[in-house]
A and B are shown apart, each in its own frame.
Chain A
Amino acid sequence: MGSITLKQVRKAFGDIEVIPGVDLEINEGEFVVFVGPSGCGKSTLLRLIAGLEDVSSGQIIIDGQDVTSAAPAKRKLAMVFQSYALYPHMSVGKNIAFPLKMAKMPEEERQKRVNHAAGILNLTDYLDRKPGQLSGGQRQRVAIGRAIVREPAAFLFDEPLSNLDAALRVNMRVEISELHKKLATTMVYVTHDQVEAMTMADKIVVLRAGRVEQIGSPLELYHSPANRFVGGFIGSPNMNFLEGPAAEAFGAHAIGVRPEHFLMSKTEGQLPGTVGVAEHLGSDTFLHIDLDDGTHIIARAAGEFPISHGDRIWLTPEEGRVYRFDKEGLAIT
């Protein structure tokens, strides 16, 4: 239960083509993350799977059944929305029970499932409260509770953590990952945050302008990005790109080096530059460096790296950690 296949799914709003045609295979039990900059069509793609938008052409197959024109409720999917979309006049318990009530499940069974879900999500003490009386994280959990009681074929998450503060986001990230391990149900998760994508996903789908740029496990994307966009999008801080003579030395139009893959020296190296701002995070130091050819570089140094504003520095990319790209931005392998 829970495999989703997209075949040449295309979506246009009037004349504007948002998704030109996506083929995608989501296996049973997988945690798939759609990631991309805002406006890349990742939410639209999720809504197409959910059935909240009609596809312009193509096929959506869930568990071997063609659901392209089926109503959202008939697809056996559950969705967690960015705004949580809780029903404000119903108590937490009634919110969670709502899908079961709609499925005409008997009261007793309903109560059992709600209590079970509330137990998993630490909501047992809050079942009688209204959503308005809960904190952001609790509301998030209620939304998840409403999704899990139905025992759906797959969960769809639409940027569920973007309304939470940074600390809570890290917590919920772990909780959702734990939940996935516990339930072993397919999850499709949309985010613009590549950290969420890297930490949670079994498989990441990188989207840009409605096109799939690359599909792969987090480390595949990190180690062998298919093109310059994926290289720049995955990893934090972003990959540095060098063009001109520095790139030609590697036989490429442009080369990409991640901040963590520079060797630094105060005396010698391939790329001379001047240190600008140094951001000390304790564990790491991020150096903003202006190379002599004008390129701006961010490099990661050890936490205690002794350097100050205006110092000269020489950078050398680590052996085998240089990504080469041709004129079109595709990776050269």
Chain B
Amino acid sequence: MATRQTQSLARLMRAPAIILLLIWMIVPLGMTLYYSFLNYNLLNPAGTSWAGWFNYVYFYTDPAFMESIKNTLILVLGVLAITVIGGIAIAMLIDKPIYGQGIVRILTISPFFVMPPVAALIWKNMIMHPSYGVFADLARFLGVSPIDWFAQYPLLSIIIIVSWQWLPFATLILLTSLQSLDGEQVEAAEMDGAGAVSRFIYLVLPHMARAMTVVILIQTIFLLGVYAEILVTTNGGPGNSSTNLTYLIYRAARLNFDVGGAAAGGIIAVILANFVAIFLMRAVGKNLD
């Protein structure tokens, strides 16, 4: 943008897109904010009235609330840990020249193409099912009694399923980062007497810091809103043990028809997301400079 003229022209030309985006964001957010202060239940829409902070108090004092926040954070952190560590490991493995590399890479990345409810159903009925599942078969083969995953370890099961879906994404980003590592730097480290472990710690990891940051930030956005996997597998149970904030809001809106309460939950979720975002940018954002 060299001149003032081109600058204002550019501003004019990108205005429609920005205004459209702004409306797209502001209107739903404003409506949610508005509903969150109403007594608005779909079973009795005629009785809608101003509620003040009641919805927030009600949502906050719900015994499921704290547990859902805890579950949300465990889910996000658990999946992040598994996908980042697993992603680095798989990326380093498939970065090595092997026979059938192309096919191996496509297979590694393919879980990403499976939509969440389908993936969750496959895991529920074909892998983790206590009588038909692959895990159950394995357990019986070893002479152990099969685990009923969704009853005994509901949150862990969800974490495993979601990790399986996001591992390809992490692997892909980390693999491209790994491939951009300068070969001469690796050779220089080799000449400097750095063994494989030292090279990984002092060279590979710092080089991948930026890619890891991207993976963490992007995944966090999506992991805060995990919902379909819970809906088709555990329905948030047993009890509230696999209910995250998103699922709790869904329950308020679609099972209790409490629009006001759900809207208040939504606003709380927005605030939580912002906290997480600030924390993450503080923790890892400097890698993006």
Contact = CB atoms under 8 A, between A and B. Distances in A.
Given A102-B193, A102-B194, A79 B206 contact: no
Given A87-B203, A89-B207, A102-B193, A79 B188 contact: yes
Contacts of A126: none
B192 A146 contact: yes
A85 B185 contact: yes
Given A98-B202, A102-B198, A85 B193 contact: no
Given A85-B182, A87-B202, A89-B207, A73 B192 contact: yes
A83 interface: yes
Interface residues of B, number: 18
Of the four ranges (under 10, 10 to 19, 20 to 34, 35 or more), the interface on chain A belongs to 20 to 34
Contacts of A82: 184
Given A86-B188, A87-B206, A98-B192, 17 more contacts: A52-B187, A71-B190, A72-B190, A73-B193, A77-B191, A82-B184, A85-B182, A85-B185, A86-B185, A87-B188, A87-B202, A89-B209, A98-B194, A102-B192, A102-B195, A103-B193, A146-B188
A51 B190 CA distance: 10
Interface in A81-132: 81-83, 85-90, 98-99, 102-103
A90 B206 CA distance: 9
A67 B190 CA distance: 16
Contact of A73 (B182, B190, B206): B190
Contacts of B209: 89
Contact of B191 (A72, A83, A87, A103): A72
Given A82-B184, A83-B182, A85-B185, A52 B190 contact: yes
A88 B191 CA distance: 17
Given A87-B202, A87-B203, A89-B207, A73 B191 contact: yes
Interface string A43-86: 00000001110000000000000000001110001110111011
Given A81-B187, A87-B202, A89-B207, A99 B193 contact: yes
A50 B187 CA distance: 10
Interface string B177-201: 0000010110111111111001000
A163 to B, nearest CB: 12
Nearest to A143: B188
Contacts, number: 59
A87 B186 CA distance: 9
Nearest to A149: B192
Contact of A87 (B185, B190, B195): B185
A81 B183 CA distance: 11
Nearest to A98: B192
A77 B192 CA distance: 9
A50 B202 contact: no
Contacts of B195: 102
B196 to A, nearest CB: 11
Contacts of B188: 79, 81, 85-87, 146
A83 B202 contact: no
Given A85-B184, A87-B185, A99 B190 contact: no
Contacts of B194: 73, 98, 102
B206 A89 contact: yes
A78 B191 contact: yes
A108 B159 CA distance: 47
Interface string B105-127: 00000000000000000000000
30 contacts: A52-B187, A72-B187, A72-B190, A73-B190, A73-B191, A73-B194, A77-B191, A79-B191, A83-B184, A85-B184, A85-B185, A85-B187, A85-B188, A86-B185, A87-B189, A87-B206, A88-B207, A89-B206, A89-B209, A90-B206, A98-B189, A98-B192, A98-B202, A99-B192, A99-B193, A102-B193, A103-B193, A146-B188, A146-B192, A150-B192
